[in-house]
Amino acid sequence: MNTAKITLILGGQRSGKSGYAEKLVEAEGCGLYLATAQAFDDEMNDRINTHKNRRGEMWSTLEEPFDIANIIDRESKVQRPILVDCLTLWLSNLMIAERDILIETERLISVLQKSQGPVVLVSNEVGQGVIPDNALARKFVDCAGRMNQVIAEASDRVVWVTAGIPNILKDEKE
C-alpha cells in the first residue's frame, strides 16, 4: 500500500482535510470510515450528512464517539485502510463524558502502532487563533494541542491541509 501505516492530517475547520483524507484512502480501494461525531443539534446533523453524501459506495461506515481504539484494533486489515474522522470531535466526546484523555490517547497510540493496515486520522489544529476567553475552551485547545503532538510523534506521515492543498510536514518510510 502507498498509504503510510499511520497518517495524521491536520488543518483548520473547512480546510479540506477530510476530503483529502478520503481521497488518500479511496486510492487504496475500499476503506472503513470511523466517524466520531455526535449530532447534538441540526447544524451538526447537516455536517454529518454532508460527509456521508460525499462518500461513495466503496466505504463502510462505523460510528463510534468514544472507543475508537477498540474499533481500530478489531477492524484493522492489511488491505483495508481505516479513516478516523475526527480526533477533535473524539476529544470533545471524551471531555463531555469526563473520560481520562491521556489514558485514551495512549491506548489509541498503542493500537495504531500494532494495526495491521494503514490508519488515516483527521484532526483540527485549533491552537493558532486568539486565546479563548473561558476556561473550558482553553482546556479544550490545550488538550487538542497535546493530543495532536503525541499522535503526530507516533505517525509515519503528517500532512497539513490549507485551502484544500496538502503540505507534508513529516514522512518517514517504513
Q: Which domains does the chain have, with CATH numbers?
A: 6-171 (3.40.50.300)
pLDDT computed for residue 1 by the predictor? 43
- Outline where 35-83 has alpha helix (H): 42-54, 68-75
The label of the residue with cell 492530517 reads 9
Kind plus residue range of the DSSP H or E element containing 148: helix 135-154
**Residue with the three cell numbers 484512502:** 25
pLDDT confidence of residue 129:
81
**Residue 2: predicted pLDDT:** 63
Phi and psi angles of residue 149, each rounded to the nearest 5 degrees, phi first: -65, -45
Q: Any idea which residues carry the catalytic annotation?
A: 51
Contacts of 153 (CB under 8 A, 6+ apart): none
* Cα–Cα dist 5/112, whole Å: 8
| Other Cβ atoms within 10 Å of 169 Cβ, number | 13
- What is the distance of C-alpha 28 from the center of its chain? 18
Ranges of the chain with pLDDT below 70: 1-2, 173-174
Q: Residues in the chain, how many?
A: 174
Residue 93 has a pLDDT of: 96
Cα–Cα distance, 39 to 135 (Å, whole number): 24
What is the Cα–Cα distance from 94 to 88, expressed in whole angstroms?
10
Looking at residue 132, the DSSP 8-state letter turns out to be P
